[in-house]
Amino acid sequence: MTGRMRARELGIVPGVLPPGPVNAITDVPGVRVGHATLIDGSNIRTGVTAIVHDALTGRSTLPAGLFTFNGFGKMVGSTQVDELGEIETPVLLTSTLATFTVADALITYILALPGNEELVSVNPFVGETNDWYLSDARRRPITAQHALAAIRDAVSGPVAEGCVGAGTGTGALGFKAGIGTASRLVSRGDATSAVGVLVQANFSGTLTVLGTPVPAGRGFRGSPPWPAPGDRAEPSDGHGNSCVIVLATDAPLDSRQLGRVARRCISAMARTGSDFSGHSGDYALALSTVARDTGPSSTHLVPENDLNVFFSAAMEATEEAILNSLFAAESMTGYRGHSRPAVPLDQVRDLIGRTDADGT
């Protein structure tokens, strides 16, 4: 097999709900994604990813809910989202020490929008994971121009995955990872809603694909055999310890409901093999593109009894997005000669096929 492939192209399909047309967060109408990728010499592997919607202007907002599973991270803007249940800017993802540069650039972007001439306060939302293993974080190479470029270049349709944008230098579960995305369609009567997820994967553990462990450095050609059932897998290198998950939907959910959906996203990290390190910043943000309306013609919210299918959609799309972040990423060498191998896709496919065949 040559080239990188998404999970679904390998026949690896988490869950039962159907994906949207491009199986990405951009299947949610109005959502766009842009990247700024920075690779410089042998020591810089980093970038910025922007998730944009026209309603996120600083003077208008969208309902949002945030769940923090482990707060070892920098999440600019999180407390106001928790307090007010709404988000007012695009969501930007980047490297840890670039968080505040990117947040300042996001403020610059919002203040410059037409109609914001009198705006005197804005709550930028910026998440991060630490890509120091492959990129010289202390150099802090990301500038405001990188953040603004990611916003400017955001488009609908297929989303670049793997070693791009905020995922350029990240790794997960012992392999090179990066940005991944996926979506699910939820049908309720005559209504169909999209649930889309984008992840910045940078966490430790043992890669697990549809329940089958795929430990790094073992079982691939030229390596020791796969562990027998019950064997303890070798730990990952421990250098990647965070995950930021962003979910969008065009279903009319309020902030409390979105918070419930966001909590389910974290379960997908367990499904894919996270060890939930204490040094991990694991966050899930969920937003609805249906603006809150308190007038007499306000949109009716999804009934509580109908939320279960949204929970399933969140878990399935997040699991597939994490796998896509790994399967799309290529091997990379960076800072101080550190390297992360790509997941060997042909062998993973063979392994999953063998597991299905023998039932173990």
Active site residues: 242, 280, 282
Residue 192: partners with Cβ closer than 8 Å, 6 or more residues away: 185, 186
17: Cβ–Cβ under 8 A, 6 or more apart, which residues?
184, 185, 186, 309, 312, 313, 316
For residue 343, what are its two tokens? 């997941």
Determine the Cα–Cα distance for residues 8 and 183; give it in Å rounded to an integer. 12
Tell whether the torsion through CA atoms of 126, 95, 277 and 243 is positive or negative.
positive
> % helix / strand / coil in the chain, to the nearest 5?
30, 25, 45
The SS3 call for residue 279 is coil
Pull the structure tokens for residue 60. 């208008």
Write down the H helix ranges in the chain: 78-84, 99-112, 144-152, 255-271, 307-327, 345-358
DSSP 330: P
Inter-residue contact 39 to 45 (CB < 8 Å): yes
Chain CA centroid to CA 126, Å: 13
**10 SS3 class:** helix
Q: Are the beta carbons of 332 and 339 closer than 8 angstroms?
A: yes
Find where tokens 């694991």 sit. 282
How far is CA 235 from its chain centroid?
23
Residue 94 to residue 46: CA distance in whole angstroms: 8
What CA–CA distance (Å, rounded) separates 287 from 87? 8
3-state SS assignment for residue 5: coil
